[in-house]
């Protein structure tokens, strides 16, 4: 009996040991499988390539533009090494695979070619001259503008495809009443401009998303009904920065467990239209203003026939093809002969048309707008204040503020208006603004770099009590005055020194 019990106990113990061994083996197998799976995932992760959609730009020795060929996404490429046009579905660069944009979600009509069309363009590529001639025909057909204004539009359509090679651009702003043709001008850029994002009152988020973080000049912005820009500070900041290359707008993104800063590129050519021009001075300085007064064009670009639409898209395809084919060559950047801001606004424009039959007329258009800008600046409030300052300066280049204020606002033929003594304000007749003590003081100190000097004099009242009286003056240097004379386009003096005017002021030397 005892031996049977012993045998049974031994058998049970042996069974349990076997079960434990089996469990351990299973656990070990599971652990090994997990480790193998983890290693496999790591290898997959290491081998996994980043897939990045790309609008345009250089990938190694290849310049690309996203297009559709026979309705399929492709890169239209220029291989700089082999110096030839190619078509590619994707381009690999190290651990990154670049793919063209899909048809949906581009914000504009995609550049869509047929295989036959590309073959024809390769065998007979367009020239700048032929492209300008075709653009000119479309302008004459759809827009009613003065010849000089048409020349600006002509050069700017081509310029929108030149953003790779120029550093600064001007903006176009079409101003006019309802039914004056301003929107038709915007629509021309919508159809022919480079990757044009066209809309009314484009949101800031859409601008960031459209221009992106990858390449500068990823398209152009065409904004209709843009007269309300004064009330959109962030958008104005983007536009004021975005006329020159290298401009980036920082944005901070905050989530539940993260905070990061990203930078969006704001440089691109921009076209606006509105019922009136925004007041912001910085924005206006970057804009070429074309006033539309209304008339009937040969054809309405907002009511295109299928054939007319096809013609515009075909011309747009030629413009993009020309850009890709000349990606390596670029263009010759010329010296326009202008200075300062005028050079920034017009150098790229004139470089685009240099060497073509259209250069002379485009150059005349640029000169006209430079002269117009010069006249506007010469007639500005700041220029009038500066000319009055020249009259009032003493031999030490100093002016007493209260005397200067009185001279500026009382019996001044250059600045007629009415004064309101109750709030120390002056309302010029020919300028829609209010001039105050603080405004003039800020001009003298901040714009004209005058040194503010406060002096105190002691005087006695009728009761023989002494009082302090503050007298504010502004002192300037000859160098600053001479620079300001150049800025406000004042003619040089006839002699190096001397006095002029009724007050016996010092004549400033150049």
pLDDT in tens, 106-116: 889 999 999 99
| pLDDT-derived band at 502, boundaries 50, 70, 90 | very low
Mean pLDDT, residues 345-370: 97
pLDDT digits (tens, 9 = 90+) for 395-425: 999 999 999 999 999 989 999 999 887 778 9
348 or 500: which carries more pLDDT confidence?
348
394-431 burial: b if 16+ Cβ within 10 Å, else e: eeebebbbeebbebbbeebeebeeeeeeeeeebebeee
Could you tell me where the DSSP H helices lie in 326-447? 340-353, 359-378, 381-392, 401-409, 437-442
pLDDT of residue 259: 84
Least confident of 35-44, 188-197, 225-234: 35-44
On the question of pLDDT at 38 being above 80, the answer is no
**Model pLDDT, residue 494:** 45
| Cα separation values, 413 from 99, 416, 507, Å | 66, 6, 21
- Give me the chain's average pLDDT, please: 88
Would you say 223 and 271 are in contact if contact means Cβ atoms under 8 Å apart?
yes
Average pLDDT rounded to a whole number, residues 422-443: 89
pLDDT tens digits, 254-313: 877 878 888 999 999 999 999 999 989 899 999 999 999 988 999 999 999 999 999 999
pLDDT tens digits, 198-219:
999 899 999 999 999 989 999 9
**pLDDT given at position 503:** 40
149/378: higher pLDDT:
149
Sign of CA dihedral 485, 487, 490, 495: positive
What is the mean predicted confidence (pLDDT) over 143-159? 97
Give the pLDDT score at 9: 55
- Laid out side by side, the sheet with 398-400 consists of 398-400, 466-475, 451-460
| pLDDT value of position 20 | 66
pLDDT at 365: 97
DSSP three-state, residue 101: coil
> Looking at residues 79-83, what average pLDDT do you find?
94
pLDDT band for 499, please (50, 70, 90 cuts): very low
Please tell me the chain's helix, strand, coil percentages from 3-state DSSP, rounded to the nearest 5: 45, 25, 35
b/e code 220-241 from CB counts within 10 Å (16+ = b)? bbbbbbbbebeebeebbebbbb
* Selected residue with higher pLDDT from 122 and 26: 122
Q: Is the pLDDT of residue 504 over 50?
A: no
Element (H, E) at 59: strand 56-59
> Is residue 492 very low, low, confident or very high in pLDDT (cuts 50, 70, 90)?
low
Residue of 45 and 477 predicted with greater confidence: 477
pTM, to two decimals: 0.80
Match 């300008």 to its residue by tokens: 132
| Model confidence pLDDT, tens digit, residues 300-311 | 999 999 999 999
pLDDT at position 8 is: 54
Query: Over pLDDT 90: what percentage of the chain?
Result: 68
Is the pLDDT at 237 greater than 60? The verdict is: yes
* Strand 112-113 with 56-59, pairing: unpaired
Answer yes or no: are the C-beta atoms of 444 and 476 closer than 8 Å. no
The per-residue pLDDT for 510 is: 33
State in words which class domain 125-376 has.
alpha beta
């Amino acid at each position: 009996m005892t031996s049977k019990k012993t045998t049974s106990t031994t058998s049970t113990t042996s069974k349990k040991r076997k079960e434990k061994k089996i469990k351990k083996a299973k656990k070990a197998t599971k652990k090994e499988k997990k480790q193998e799976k983890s290693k496999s995932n790591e290898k997959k992760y290491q081998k996994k390539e980043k897939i990045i959609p790309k609008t345009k730009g250089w990938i190694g020795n290849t310049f690309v533009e996203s297009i559709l060929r026979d309705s399929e996404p492709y890169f239209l490429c220029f291989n700089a090494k082999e110096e030839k046009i190619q078509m590619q579905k994707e381009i690999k660069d190290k651990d990154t695979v670049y793919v063209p944009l899909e048809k949906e979600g581009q914000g504009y009509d995609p550049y869509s070619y047929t295989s036959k069309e590309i073959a024809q363009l390769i065998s007979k590529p367009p020239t700048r001259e032929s492209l300008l001639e075709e653009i000119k025909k479309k302008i004459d057909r759809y827009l009613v503008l003065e010849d000089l204004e048409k020349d600006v539009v002509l050069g700017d359509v081509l310029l929108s495809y030149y953003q790779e090679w120029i550093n600064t651009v001007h903006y176009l702003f079409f101003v006019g009443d309802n039914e004056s043709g301003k929107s038709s001008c915007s629509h021309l850029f919508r159809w022919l401009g480079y990757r044009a994002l066209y809309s009314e009152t484009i949101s800031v988020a859409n601008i960031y998303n459209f221009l992106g973080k990858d390449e500068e000049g990823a398209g152009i912005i065409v904004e209709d009904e843009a007269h309300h820009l004064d009330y959109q500070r962030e958008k104005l900041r983007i536009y004021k920065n975005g006329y020159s290359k290298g401009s980036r707008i920082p944005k901070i993104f905050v989530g539940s467990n993260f905070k990061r800063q990203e930078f969006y590129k704001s440089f691109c050519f921009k076209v606006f239209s509105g019922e009136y021009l925004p007041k912001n001075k910085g924005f206006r300085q970057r804009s070429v203003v074309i006033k539309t007064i209304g008339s009937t064009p040969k054809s309405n670009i907002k009511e295109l026939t299928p054939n007319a639409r096809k013609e515009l898209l075909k011309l747009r395809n030629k413009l993009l093809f020309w850009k890709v084919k000349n990606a390596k060559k670029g263009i010759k950047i010329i010296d326009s002969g202008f200075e300062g801001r005028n050079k920034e606004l017009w150098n790229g424009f004139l470089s685009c048309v240099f060497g073509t039959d259209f250069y002379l007329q485009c150059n005349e258009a640029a000169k006209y707008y430079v002269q117009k800008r010069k006249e506007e600046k010469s007639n500005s409030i700041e220029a009038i204040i500066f000319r009055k300052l020249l009259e009032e300066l003493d031999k030490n280049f100093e002016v007493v503020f209260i005397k200067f204020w009185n001279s500026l606002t009382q019996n001044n033929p250059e600045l007629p208006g009415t004064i309101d003594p109750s709030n120390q304000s002056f309302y010029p007749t020919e300028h829609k603004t209010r001039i105050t003590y603080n405004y003039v003081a800020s001009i003298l100190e901040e714009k004209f770099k005058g040194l503010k000097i406060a002096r105190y004099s002691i005087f006695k009242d009728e009761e023989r009590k002494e009082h302090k009286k503050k007298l504010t003056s502004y002192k300037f240097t000859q160098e600053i005055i001479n620079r300001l004379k150049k800025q406000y386009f004042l003619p040089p003096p006839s002699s190096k020194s001397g006095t002029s005017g009724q007050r016996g002021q010092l004549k400033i030397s150049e």
